[in-house]
Structure formats: C-alpha cells, structure tokens
Amino acid sequence: MTMDKAIPKLGLGTGGRIGDDGAAAILKAIEIGYRHLDTAQSYNSEDSVGKAVRASGLPRGDFFITTKVADTRLNKAQFLPSVRASLDVIGVDQVDLLLIHWPSHKDAVPFEDYVLALGEAQQKGYARLIGVSNFPIALLERTRALLGPGAIATNQVEIHPYLQAPKLVAYARSIGLTLTAYQPLAKGEIRDDPVLSKIGAAHGVSASAVALAFLMAEGHVVIPSSSSETNLRGNYAALAVSLSEAEMNEIRALNRGYRRINPEKSPRWDD
C-alpha cells in the first residue's frame, strides 16, 4: 500500500493562537476553508487547534493536523511521551504529520536517538506521516541514511520571496522531498513589495496572495499565519491565482538570501 504523502498546499500557521481568542481565530480560518492546521509543542496552540476542530463540527478526517516535537524534548526519555501528550492536548488519536522542530543544538542529544524516535512514533501510530523542520542538506542526508529514502514527507523551513533557498530547493527536488515554507510572507514584510503588489493588482489579489501562489507554484507547501479575517481570506485567495512564467521570473529575481529566523541554535544553513 502506498501511503498518501500529499500535504495540503495551503495551511494555517498557529503560532501565537492561544486561549479562547486563538481558538476563535483558527475556527474563523476553518470557516473560510482552511483544513491544514500547523501547530507545535512550543507554540502552546495545540489546545486551540483541538478546540477549533471540535467547534467546527466537521469530521476529524477533513483535517490535516501537524505538530512538532520541541528541541527540549528530543531525548529518549521525553520524545515519545511528549508526542503522546500532544495527542491528548489536541484531542486526537493521531496527527497527520509529526515533525522534529529543530535539530539538537551541538548534538546535545545524539542525532540517531531522536531521528529513530521519530520513526518509532510513526510505527506506534502516533503520526500518519513524519518529517523534519530546520534541517539543512547534511542533516537530511543523515536522516535518509537512518530512516531510508522517502521516509519523511517534508522539511519545514523558512522560505519566502526574499529567501528562496536555491541550494536546499534543488536538493529537495532531486530526492522528491516537499519543502514546507514557514513565514512565507516574511512576517508581512512582503506586503508592500512593488513587484508583488503590481502582479497582485493584475490578478485582483493582495501581494501576500501572489507570494503564496508563487511558492506553491514552485512546489512548496505554505503555512501563513494570521488572526485577521481579511488577511485569512486574502491568503486563501492564493489557491485560485495562476502566475505566468514571466511573473514567476520577476518574483524569482526578488531572492536576496534574507533570513529572518536564525537563533543561536540554528544549524549551518545551505543558503
């Protein structure tokens, strides 16, 4: 049986969506049409995602839910229990996708320990699909060596029009690995970009929708985050945008290697 590794192309990032307000914002996104919900242990939004899914009245099978194991819970004693706890907090028997959020800084936890634990979480049925986040090519290679080709469904990394990560993208394409773009709008910084705004005007959509449509056309999954109904609707409109090759090339020219998320614990990036 071939397992369906298709991740919905447009998802909702839920960092910061905590408490009743957070659940209400996620529920609004569900009402607009979002079904792919991306959370993490470190976001404290797993509870909000679960509440919104239940409040929607839609069946669990309509949703694609992702969560991530925090880099503080990668060791053997904590990894699997933390995933079990996440399932309980969300209120599901299984997530659709489980990611390692960050590799262990300076190998404080042995790489093999947490990558093999990720595979074990899938074997136990805690996750339908597994993947990683913030992994450069070197760590993706090590992951393939441990789990086998095709074992992981995605690598979630910062990608947006100003950081297009050509080396990582080329490698991912060469092995058939989907990249999931977090902060695909560079935290709103692309909103006033003249190139994106001009293209957006031609299509009757926002600059943000153009950025998302571009990234999806490049083969990436995107998980923009917003609690504003206007922005949620504007971002969702990206699904209906089809860009010409000339427009794609204009946006490709915006790449300048501008990385926003680069904490001390970051691995050595490729781009």
Helix H segments across 8-110? 19-32, 46-56, 79-90
Helix H segments across the chain? 19-32, 46-56, 79-90, 111-123, 137-147, 166-175, 194-203, 207-217, 229-236, 245-252
CA dihedral 206, 211, 216, 219 (to 10 degrees): 170
The domains found in the chain, sorted by start residue, are 7-156 (3.20.20.100), 159-259 (3.20.20.100)
**203 contacts 240 by C-beta, under 8 angstroms:** no
Task: Mark whether 43 is an active-site residue.
Answer: yes
pLDDT of residue 1: 28
Axis-axis angle for helices 46-56, 79-90 (nearest 10): 30
Strands 64-69 and 12-13: unpaired
Instruction: Provide φ and ψ at 212, rounded to 5°.
Output: -65, -45
Given a cut of 50, the residues of the chain with pLDDT beneath it are 1-3
Helix H segments across 46-97? 46-56, 79-90
What span, in angstroms and rounded, lies between the C-alpha atoms of 125 and 92?
Answer: 12
Q: What sign does the CA torsion over 158, 162, 168, 173 have?
A: positive
> What is the pTM assigned to this prediction?
0.97
Is 160 marked as a binding-site residue?
A: no
What span, in angstroms and rounded, lies between the C-alpha atoms of 214 and 21?
Answer: 31
Q: Which of 34, 43, 126, 162 is catalytic?
A: 43
> What are the tokens at 228?
């504003």
Question: DSSP state, 148?
Answer: -
What span, in angstroms and rounded, lies between the C-alpha atoms of 77 and 79?
Answer: 6
**80 contacts 105 by C-beta, under 8 angstroms:** no
